[in-house]
Chains A and B, each alone.
Chain A
Amino acid sequence: MKKIADFILKIGEMDRRWIFIIIALVVLLPLFFPIGLPIRPTDSTQTAYDAMDDLEHGSKVLMSFEYGPSTKPEIHPMTYAVLRHLFKNKHKVYITCLWPDGQFMAEEAIEEIAEQEFNLTYGKDYVLLGFRPGNEAVVKGIVSNIRKLYSTDARGTLTDKIPMMEGINKLADFDFIFTASAGYPGTVEWVQYGADPTGVPMSTGVTSIQVNEVMPYVQSGQVKGILAGMPGAAEYEKLVGIPGIGTSGMDAQSVAHVVIVLFIIFGNVAFFIERQRQKKY
């Protein structure tokens, strides 16, 4: 028993670089050798899916991209899944960005989903209005007069000349808002300055870090459901029926979580053994 306790204490003090190697292997190996764990959509993802699925075909949906390359692995899969869902149901998608990198992310998503997969027409089925700096001031601008803020789209075309912009003058002219957000400005600003004042229903996908910040809005119904991080993206892919990048990362995510929980338990066992010894002596 003493030998086991000594061994546990010794391991408890090992160089942190061994921990780094273990984490690297634990994340890397499932990417090469997938396990294929089935994904079970949670209530919050289901609510977001149902809110968008219940929209009448051909509805006008405003989608806002507020993330960049640093949070792309978490949010990009969910924007792909949501775009697939919206295009499948023949909705008109209007894309804005409160982050400048969001425009690059939007361009990538549009190219792969709208152009290559669904073969849709720019200006008729979807439009990229683009990035405008100003954070919540941009949301306020969209609420009051979207055409003044977006006199041209991201490709330099005057918005007055874009067919699907007909009848769109302010936020209240949209049927739904979906924001893919990684921080400030993002979901919170859309709730505070957009959805709440105008009553336009909204849903959101956020990074795992941001979930708790947004949960009270979800619980109070100000936001209809939430896609939480990469697991949320994988769940939405499952509901849409098209597995993507989110699904492929879930095995690595699961195994890494188990290993970190074991680290916590092991670390505390070592802590208790040491505390017992200190009390004894």
Chain B
Amino acid sequence: MTFGTILGAWVAVFLTLAIFSYLYKDNPFYKIAEHVFVGISAGYWASMFFWTQIQPNLFGRLWPASEYNADSFWYKIYNGLHVLTSAVFPEGGIDKGHDMHLIYLIPFALGVMMLLSVSSKLSWFARWGIAYTVGMAAGLRAYGFLNSNVIGQIKGSAMQFVGGDLPFFALIGNSIFNNIVILVGTIAGLAYFYFSKEHKGAFGKLTKLGIYFLMISFGASFGFAVMGRISLLIGRFVDLIDYSKPQYNHATIWILIAMIVLLGYNAFKDRGKNTPVSEDAA
């Protein structure tokens, strides 16, 4: 086990237990871990997106290695950038298998405008780039959601109800009764979301049935939500147990003891004062 791995294990255990310490009450360990998380996340995502998108797909299309020409004005700019940072602009152009597409100066310009919008005077600069992404997303989603979420689901609800070889009722697998339940439930649930007509009389009864189906669905979602959260907790505990082993110098045990002692001492010092416990909805 290398020193880097052991150090990493101790850092991971400290950060994990610091986040869990919030369950006792809000404390400096938790605040430190939370702020480190914010900083690390921002840097992680920025680095990741730069190296997987901007450098290969944008710069790789503006200055591809396949069309490198040291005498051209365009590549003289590149060579200047290479002097600044050879990691991002390696010698001889960027070799990612692209041809030159100077039209990519448009997203480059929009992107730079986005970055300049960090200044409050130039905040409107970001609008053009945002407008492009909004337009693109709107066009993509209008078709995608209509096709799969509406038409696809309506097609899925059009099932066999009479004749054929389906049994009338089956607990597992297809049956005519199950198909009727799904169709009636879908229509009743949709009826509930129709607010242009008052939910009274026969329509009111249909919407009431719709609520019952929706409640069953929400209950199932709740069950799955609990299942998911417990699974994640199991995952963390498995890691903590792993890091308590001798090859990691019993990191979990030592850090746990240290945190309990420090938080306990803090609680002892603050006894008698009204300090708030960890706040949440329940």
In the complex, are there CB atoms of A and B closer than 8 Å?
yes
Chain A residues at the B interface, C-beta cutoff of 8 Å: 15-17, 20, 23, 27-28, 31-32, 43, 70-74, 100, 130-134, 136-137, 140, 151-152, 158-160, 188-189, 191-193, 196-197, 207-209, 211-212, 216-217, 219-222, 228-231, 245, 248-249, 252-253, 256-257, 260
CB-CB under 8 A for A257 and B230, given A31-B237, A192-B148, A219-B182: yes
A residues within 8 A CB of B234?
Answer: 27, 31, 73, 230, 249, 252-253
**Contact of A222 with B232 in the complex, beta carbons under 8 Å:** no
Residues of B within 8 A of A159 (CB): 97
Contact A74 B144 (CB under 8 A): no
Q: CA–CA, A57 to B174, complex, Å?
A: 30
Q: Note all chain A residues with C-beta closer than 8 A to B221.
A: 209, 212
- Given the interface pairs A17-B24, A136-B140, the reply to whether A31 lies near B238 with Cβ below 8 Å is yes
Known A140-B140, A196-B152, A222-B152; judge A231-B237 contact (CB<8 A): no
Complex interface: chain A residues within 8 A of B97 (CB) = 151-152, 158-160
| B23 close to A20 (CB less than 8 A) | yes
B271 smallest CB distance to A (angstroms): 16
Contact, CB under 8 Å: A192 / B147: yes
Complex interface: chain B residues within 8 A of A188 (CB): 148
Residue pairs across A and B with Cβ atoms less than 8 A apart, 16 shown, are: A16-B282, A31-B238, A73-B235, A73-B236, A100-B45, A137-B140, A188-B148, A192-B149, A196-B148, A209-B221, A212-B220, A216-B153, A220-B156, A220-B157, A249-B235, A257-B230
Complex Cα spacing A28 to B172, Å: 35
B173 CB within 8 Å of chain A: yes
Name the distance in Å between B260's Cβ and chain A's nearest Cβ: 13
A16: B residues at CB distance < 8 A? 277, 282
Q: B226 touching A257 by the CB < 8 A rule?
A: yes
A157 to B153, CA, bound (A): 41
B-side contacts of A230, CB under 8 Å = 227, 231, 234
Q: Does B224 contact A (CB under 8 A)?
A: yes
CB distance from A220 to the nearest CB of B (A): 2
**CB-based contact B235/A72 at 8 Å:** yes
Min Cβ gap B259→A in Å is 14
Chain B 40-58, CB within 8 Å of chain A: the 1/0 string? 0000010011001100100
Enumerate chain B residues within 8 angstroms of A219, measured Cβ to Cβ. 156, 182
Query: In the docked arrangement, what's the CA distance between A252 and B226, Å?
Result: 13
A71 to chain B: closest residue by CB? B232
> What's the nearest-Cβ distance from chain A to residue B219, in Å?
10
A257 CA / B234 CA spacing, docked (Å): 12
A208 close to B53 (CB less than 8 A): no
Kindly state the separation between the CA atoms of A140 and B48 in the bound complex, as whole angstroms.
22
Task: Give B240 Cβ to nearest chain A Cβ, in Å.
Answer: 9
Q: Are B217 and A212 in contact (CB under 8 A)?
A: yes
Establish whether residues A133 and B231, one from each chain, have CB atoms under 8 Å apart when the complex forms. no
A230 to B228, CA, bound (A): 8
Q: Is B233 a contact of A222 with CB atoms below 8 Å?
A: no
Query: Which positions 229-274 of chain B face chain A at CB distance < 8 Å?
Result: 230-238, 241
B49 to chain A: which residues have CB within 8 Å? 100, 133
CB distance B172 to A43 under 8 Å? yes
Say how far A64's CB is from chain B's closest CB, in angstroms. Answer: 16
**C-alpha gap A212/B217 in the complex (Å):** 8
- B1: A residues at CB distance < 8 A: none
B208 in contact (CB, < 8 A)? no
Known: A151-B96, A208-B228, A249-B231. 20 other contacts (CB 8 A): A72-B235, A73-B232, A73-B234, A73-B235, A100-B49, A133-B49, A136-B141, A151-B97, A192-B145, A192-B149, A196-B147, A196-B148, A212-B217, A220-B152, A220-B155, A222-B148, A228-B224, A230-B234, A249-B234, A249-B235
- A73 pairs with B231, CB closer than 8 A: yes
Q: Is B202 an interface residue (CB 8 A)?
A: no
The reply to whether the CB of B162 lies closer than 8 angstroms to some CB of chain A is no
Contact in complex: A229, B277 (CB < 8 Å): no
Assembly CA distance A253 to B157 (angstroms) = 34
B230 close to A256 (CB less than 8 A): yes
Tell yes or no: B225 within 8 A of A by CB. yes
Contact B156 A231 (CB under 8 A): no
Counting CB contacts under 8 A, is B98 at the interface? yes
Q: Do the beta carbons of B52 and A253 come within 8 Å of each other?
A: no
Please measure, in the bound complex, the distance between the C-alpha atom of A228 and the C-alpha atom of B231, giving whole angstroms: 11
Pairwise interchain contact A74-B228, C-beta atoms closer than 8 A: yes
Q: Interface code B135-175, partner A: CB below 8 Å = 1, 0 otherwise?
A: 01000110011011100110111000000000000001100
Instruction: Note all chain B residues with C-beta closer than 8 A to A130.
Output: 52
A159 CA to B141 CA, complexed, in Å: 30
B231, A28: Cβ atoms under 8 Å?
Answer: no
CB-based contact A253/B156 at 8 Å: no
| Highest count of chain B CB atoms <10 Å: which of A134, A191, A212, A257 | A212
